[in-house]
Structure 1
Amino acid sequence: MKSLKKRRRVQVLLAASVALLIAVGLIGYGFRDGINLYRSPSQVTEAAPDPDEYFQLGGLVKDGSIVERDGVEFDFVITDGAAEIQVSYVGAEPRPDLFSEGQGTIAKGYYRNGRFEARDLLAKHDETYMPREVIDTLKATGVYQEPTS
């Protein structure tokens, strides 16, 4: 009888260990691209990240900077009032409906050869929303203005 209890206990411990290893493996797989750090244009110009580092760049879309290219690709400039970064959107999705000049946005991608290559874009989801990170960046540079509604 004791050997059966011992055997069951060992089986339960082995099953729990396997489940734990699978969970750790899945978490590691989820973070294979690393944690996406947020940076402002000023931070990128001060210390350019590694060309293989995937990160988020946020700020305002500079007025008059959106230039259409082939298909869903286009160029624009992200600014925080103190610095500007040229951005080329090379993602597969069309431009978000509420993506426009003078509005806050977050682009996800890589900074290579003095230009940010955006793979994904996050835009506001209503007329008054702006991502918290963008607001913090604009407040730090003294450019932020409260929305009027």
Structure 2
Amino acid sequence: MTPRRKRAAWIIGALIALALVTFFVVNAFRQNLVFFYTPTQIAAGEAPQGRAFRIGGMVVDKSLVRAADGVTIRFDVTDTDKVIPVQYRGILPDLFKEGKGVVAEGRWENGVFTASEVLAKHDENYMPPEAQDAVNQAHQKAAAKKEQQ
């Protein structure tokens, strides 16, 4: 083999190896990526079925129900437009309260969001931009409905 062909073979081999590494990295990233959805988006069917994602909003007042086993908790999350029931099995964060913001990660199954992790926001003035946009849009829709009546 001539030196020119050897160099070409090495370059082609390196490009194939780089393409394989890139494919595996992008594939792993895509599988571990968790998207955020609002209750309105979930109710509209935009959330994935059988795949983990995050839901964010406010915990509805007086919706917190603890099961007899002491570990299973049910509560509702809203963006002021739609309400989604959430079920969680575990210990809730200390800052979790009704009427406060929450982000939960889990799966949408049979009309209930089954959370594997619940995060309570630490500052009552902060809300994730996606959740704030959803709340603002819900307020605008409610105001438009009110004007039409």
DSSP-derived class of the 1:30 partner: helix
Contact 2:80–2:138 (8 Å) recurs in 1: yes
DSSP-derived class of the 1:117 partner: strand
* 2:56 match: 58
* 2:73 match: 74
Structure 1's unaligned 5+ residue stretches are 144-149
1:136 to 108, 130, 133: 133
More helix by share: 2
Q: TM-score, normalised by structure 1?
A: 0.75
Aligned counterparts, 1:17-56, within 5 A: 17-32=16-31, 35-47=33-45, 49=47, 51-56=49-54
Q: TM-score, normalised by structure 2?
A: 0.75
- Judged with a 3 Å threshold, the aligned counterparts in structure 2 of structure 1 residues 132 and 48 are, in CA distance, closer, same or farther, namely closer
* 1:146 match: none
The letter of the residue matching 1:97 is D
RMSD, aligned CA: 2.7
- Judged with a 3 Å threshold, the aligned counterparts in structure 2 of structure 1 residues 103 and 18 are, in CA distance, closer, same or farther, namely same
The letter of the residue matching 1:74 is I
Tell me how far 1:79 sits from its aligned partner: 1.1
Work out the CA distance in 1 between the residues paired with 2:16 and 2:44: 46
DSSP-derived class of the 2:11 partner: helix
The letter of the residue matching 1:141 is A
Contact 2:100–2:124 (8 Å) recurs in 1: no
Tell me how far 1:96 sits from its aligned partner: 2.5
Work out the CA distance in 2 between the residues paired with 1:129 and 1:48: 25
* 2:121 match: 124
Contact 1:60–1:104 (8 Å) recurs in 2: yes
Instruction: Number of aligned residue pairs: give it.
Output: 139
Contact 1:107–1:119 (8 Å) recurs in 2: yes
Work out the CA distance in 2 between the residues paired with 1:47 and 1:24: 30
- Judged with a 3 Å threshold, the aligned counterparts in structure 2 of structure 1 residues 8 and 73 are, in CA distance, closer, same or farther, namely farther
